[in-house]
Amino acid sequence: MFRSIVFLFSLSTLLLLSCGGGDSDNAPKQGSNEVSSAPRYGGIFRLNVLRGDPNGLDPVLVDSKHADDIASQIFDKLIDLNDSLKIVPEIANSWEISEDGLVYTFHLRTDVRFQDDSCFSDGKGRLMNAADVKYSLTRCCDPDQRTKTYWAFQGKVKGATEFYNAAEKKNRLDEVTGFKVVNDSTFQIQLTEPYAPFIYLLINSLGSVVPREAVEKYGIDFARHPVGTGAFRFDQWTQGVNVLLRRNPNYWGKDEEANSYPYLDSLVFTFKKDDNTQFNTFETGQQEELFNIPTEQFEAIFNTETLELNPKFSKYQAQTVPAMLTWYFAFNNRRAPFTDANVRRAFNYAIDRLRIVKFVLNNSPYAPATHGLTPPVFPDYPVDSIQGYDYDQERARELLAAAGYPNGEGFPPIAIHIYDEPRLRKVAEAIQDQLNKTLNVNLEIKQMAFPQLIDLAESGKIEFWGTRWYGDYPDPETYLNLLNGQIVPDDPTKPSNPNSSRYDSPEYNDLFNEAVRTIDYLARMMRYVQAEQLAMDDAPVMPLFYERHYRLLQPYVRGMKLDPMARYDLKRVWLDLPETREAETAAGIAESK
């Protein structure tokens, strides 16, 4: 576990240096996550999800970080990432990519079982095989499964587009021709053309393997009764309260000493939506982890210059690292008034991002987003070379006047749509005030549950909304794909995911395509930069700030790591207490409610 502490410092330092500077001492030194003895089995790990209930835990529906955090405990994928965000095997022991970049062949483990569930004839989970992988990935291309993940294979995998289109017309095809079962332990994916970052798509939840028996038994309710091969099995979901997962005793994974994962008995994800309530729950010992620090508490907890814990909180373990996360406001590029690029540019110039970071958020983010949408955490990706939008009131007013709204006159009534998140509310209020003072534009703030906002945004029913994007994988394509017009449906009534801004520029699309076909890594990065600069000139979105992750852990938590993606690998976590907390599990769950 000592290696994880070194990683937290060294990787983040590398990322900072690759971005041209920044504080190198980004990991507070209080607390210790170092393993001082063999891992202990048992206990309950309690953590909170500020966004509330996810829209579902079916991998083809997962379209948010908090849903992925829960689902990734239940499901396994072909491949995963290690602590350094390098690709490593999961249920695929090994794989090969053909020289032409068109064929991906995966060799599967033969000891992976699905979790016990009544969907199986004897209630016992059966062995997973290549046919299950094919079935699972095919669901991503099936509109009848309500898929939100078709974008990953659309136009990339042979037969994926044809399969989806035929299913939409109720003229179903037998299979996606690019998904091949070679034998029980060998699975193959065939692409239509090279797509250099394709392998990264499979570390997303969309790459999770599910059993056909569970999907057919539970139907639409599979999203609320998931069955997978992961370290924890689903137990119960109390709407608005929590999701409870329990240890999968038949999990295939083992640690370096051949001890079976996971160590913990149970996980409880609670859904308290107030960050101060969450903070108080952590302080009173009813939560093992605190991930979202209340803005108003930040300076009390951390020294803002050193990022070390202040004395009152030094008993806790602290972790921090620049995040693969950008907060931004999106425009619907196909709805007035944001069909006019000058309106979008005017809004961008009217925002004082530095003031928001410094005074609204107490310097907790990594930096204001004055460059592109992509955060500065990708080695060899020169974000600083991308020219974004500085605060320029005069230029903002000129552009709005050029769009036909001098001094805001005649600007239509629109709203700022946000979801229930305390920091986002504060940021939205600051943006509302700055747009009013600079452009004489009056916007109403409308707040709603996260799934409702995502549904409205993807369906094209709102004009302007606040959100954030966690990178799904460590390649800038995960951000540039948000502006990929080739995945925007022609029909404005159909959902557009993940490009909910519906930006569609032929020039951008051409540069994007050229980049993802470029196998050479550094050459691909340069083409990404060209594409992102073109998009920023069009201002399809309004980047606000690049995030920094902060996490507090109780002193007894071991094996918990923090990377720029803030992934939760809870099978490796254990509690370093004199005795396991097996007897406390029921009481802990009750307290979490």
- Domain assignment present for residue 497? The answer is yes
User: Is 310 within the bounds of a domain?
Assistant: no
Average pLDDT, the chain: 92
| pLDDT tens per residue, range 161-180 | 999 999 999 999 999 999 99
The values of phi and psi at residue 545, to 5°, are: -155, 155
> Is 462:332 a contact under the CB 8 Å cutoff?
yes
Residue from 144, 112, 108, 109 nearest 125 by CA: 112
Q: Is the dihedral of CA 189, 194, 200, 205 positive or negative?
A: negative
DSSP three-state, residue 34: coil
Q: Which two tokens stand for residue 579?
A: 């005795």
pLDDT (tens digit per residue) in 361-412 = 999 999 999 999 999 999 999 999 999 999 999 999 999 999 999 999 999 9
Task: Give the DSSP letter string of 87-150.
Answer: EEESSEEEEEE-TTS-EEEEEEPS--BPPP-TTSTTSSPPBP-HHHHHHHHHHTT-GGGT-S-G
- pLDDT of 21 reads 35
Q: How many CB atoms neighbour CB 542 within 10 A?
A: 25
In a domain, 482, yes or no: yes
pLDDT higher than threshold 50 for residue 24? no
State yes or no: pLDDT of 587 exceeds 70: no
pLDDT value, residue 304: 87
* 9-15 mean pLDDT: 35
The pLDDT, as a whole number, for residue 554 is: 98
Angstrom distance (rounded) from CA 336 to CA 334: 7
Check residue 337 and give its pLDDT. Answer: 98
Instruction: Give tens-digit pLDDT for 235-255.
Output: 999 999 999 999 999 999 999
Over residues 24-42, the mean pLDDT reads: 61
Among 176, 175, 186, 172, CA closest to 156: 176
Task: Give helix 341-349 / helix 422-439 axis angle, nearest 10°.
Answer: 110
Domains contained in the chain, number:
2
Domain's final residue, options 208, 232, 250: 208
Which pTM was predicted?
0.88
Residue after which a domain boundary falls, among 160, 184, 208? 208
Predicted local distance difference test score (pLDDT) of residue 216: 98
Q: Is residue 234 part of a domain?
A: no
pLDDT at 51: 81
Owner of token pair 């900072």: 16
Q: Which domain holds residue 329?
A: 322-547
Confidence of residue 352 (pLDDT cuts 50, 70, 90): very high
pLDDT exceeds cutoff 60 at 462: yes
462 in the same domain as 332: yes
Contact 549, 320 (CB under 8 A): yes
Read off the pLDDT of residues 255-311 as tens digits, 9 standing for 90 and up.
999 999 999 999 999 999 899 999 999 999 999 999 989 998 999 999 988 999 999
Q: Provide the CA 150 distance to its chain's centre, in angstroms.
A: 17
Domain contains 559? no
Q: For residue 201, give both structure tokens.
A: 């798509």
In a domain, 541, yes or no: yes
d(CA 571, CA 252): 11
Across 144-155, average pLDDT: 96
Burial class (CB in 10 A: 0-12, 13-18, 19+), 405: buried
Q: What share of the chain is helix, strand, coil (3-state, %, to 5)?
A: 35, 20, 45
Judge whether residue 13 has pLDDT over 60.
no
Of the given ranges (111-120, 296-305, 574-583), which has the lowest mean pLDDT?
574-583
Question: Which of 176, 192, 208 is at the close of a domain?
Answer: 208
Cis status, amide bond into 28, omega within 30 of 0: no
| Among 98, 311, 342, residue whose Cα is nearest residue 198 | 98
Tell me if 541 sits within 8 A of 331, measured CB to CB: yes
- Is the residue at 178 inside a domain? yes
Take residue 550 and report the two structure tokens written for it: 């902060």
What CATH code is carried by the domain that includes residue 180? 3.90.76.10
Which CATH number is 385's domain given?
3.10.105.10
Same-domain pairing of 200 and 341: no
Specify whether 186 is located in the same domain as 326: no
Here the tokens at position 538 are 């069009």
Check whether residue 367 and residue 502 sit in a common domain: yes
Position 489 in a domain: yes
- Say how many residues make up the chain: 593
What is the spatial distance between Cα 199 and Cα 511, in angstroms, rounded to a whole number?
A: 20
Same domain membership, residue 331 and residue 201: no
Q: What is the pLDDT of residues 520-571, one digit of tens each?
A: 999 999 999 999 999 999 999 999 999 999 999 999 999 999 999 999 999 9
The percent of residues in the chain predicted with pLDDT above 90, rounded, is 87
Is the pLDDT reported for residue 11 higher than 50?
no
pLDDT of residue 32: 52
CA 410 remoteness from chain centre: 38
- Detail the DSSP E strand segments found in 239-300: 242-247, 266-270, 289-290
Least confident of 22-36, 400-414, 479-493: 22-36
What is the CA 240 to chain-centroid distance, rounded?
A: 21
Local structure of residue 354 (DSSP, 8 states): H
How far apart are the C-alpha atoms of 71 and 541, rounded to whole Å?
29
Same domain, yes or no: 367 and 509: yes
